[in-house]
Amino acid sequence: MFGLFSLTSYSQVNYEFYGALKLNGNDKTLITYRLVFTEQNGKISGYSVTDLDGAHETKNVISGTYDKSKKQFSFQEREILYTKSKFDENSFCFVNFTGKVKLVENTSKLEGAFKGLFNNKTKCIDGTMTLIGSNKIYNLVNKVNKKLQGSKKIDAKTKSESNPIKLIDSLKINKLSKDQNLNVFWESNVLKLDIWDNGQEDGDIINVYHNNKLILSEYSVTNKKKTINITLIGKNDIFKIVAVNEGKIKPNTAKLELHDKNRSFELLATLNKEEEASITIVKKPAN
């Protein structure tokens, strides 16, 4: 599942790909994968997301190169931005890919073998990658959706809930559900937190805690952003979101955006009444 984007400058093009990683071994595990990057003058920069909307969803910084004349494309995952996984940071296996790729709008595919390396460059598990440009996927999904929406045998509720375009779009959102914890690797000593409802206001109320101290009590989430600036006090600062109610439309939903220097992280908390989820801000060691 994947694709590319539009020209943003004379020589800069943005690309987006979706697909899966297949790990070597007897179980032949498949892991969903999204790759978003910019190519400018042969330089690749962007990010990857592994295990989309899964229990181990992880976002990494990527960098690499592209030789248009030789159609040689390479990238390496090099830094974790966030992860839902409970594994230690040093146990993460990073994707390193080099292969023949022709980056052409709507028809691009990325496939071939990749090497898995730990942070210290020692070998972990290898596998193969199969990715498709998002524009091509959306073209195919649009055709499927037109047939679905035009069918007289399917009721309106099912059509809405089964809309494949909404499904693809939902994979781009980092969702935080009951009892999940998101580890975000942080650079600064402060956190700016924005909270709002990016959909229909329906009376959702939440509590927010910082290291078990209540910092936002019975807050009604609205379309207007609520901004909180927090000083971080340790290596790991834990923020907990608790749903006080479910409003008029289940579940309780709150859009959160975390700002760290020149980086930001968006996520959507989706909780039923009295459920909770958390965000752990992991302070990166100073260089």
The DSSP letter of residue 225 is P
Mean pLDDT of the chain: 87
The model's pLDDT over 150-195, given as tens digits with 9 standing for 90+, comes to 777 777 766 566 665 566 555 677 899 999 999 999 999 999 999 9
SS3 content of the chain, % helix, strand, coil (to 5): 10, 55, 35
pLDDT of residue 88: 74
pLDDT beyond 80 at 280: yes
| Count of positions (residues) in the chain | 287
Q: Which residues pair with 239 in a beta bridge?
A: 210, 279
The pTM for the full model equals 0.83
Q: How far apart are CA 142 and CA 157, in angstroms?
A: 18
Q: Is 137 a residue whose pLDDT tops 80?
A: no
Render pLDDT for 82-132 as a digit per residue (tens, 0 to 9): 999 986 777 899 999 999 988 876 557 899 999 999 988 999 999 999 999
- Quick: pLDDT tens for 41-91: 999 999 999 999 899 999 999 999 999 999 999 999 999 999 999 867 778
CA-to-CA dists, residue 209 to 131, 240, 253, 267, 278, angstroms: 40, 5, 17, 17, 9
Between CA 89 and CA 284 the distance in angstroms is 11
Least confident of 225-229, 244-248, 282-286: 282-286
* 2: confidence class by pLDDT, cuts 50, 70, 90: very low
The set of residues, in sequence order, having a beta carbon less than 8 Å from that of 15 and lying 6+ positions away, is 2, 3, 4, 5, 35, 36, 37, 38, 39, 46, 103, 108, 133
Please give the angle made by the CA atoms of 267, 270 and 51, to the nearest 5 degrees: 55
What six digits make up the tokens of 57?
């969803």
Residue 140 is predicted with a pLDDT of 65
- Does the pLDDT of residue 1 top 50, yes or no? no
**% of the chain at pLDDT higher than 70:** 84
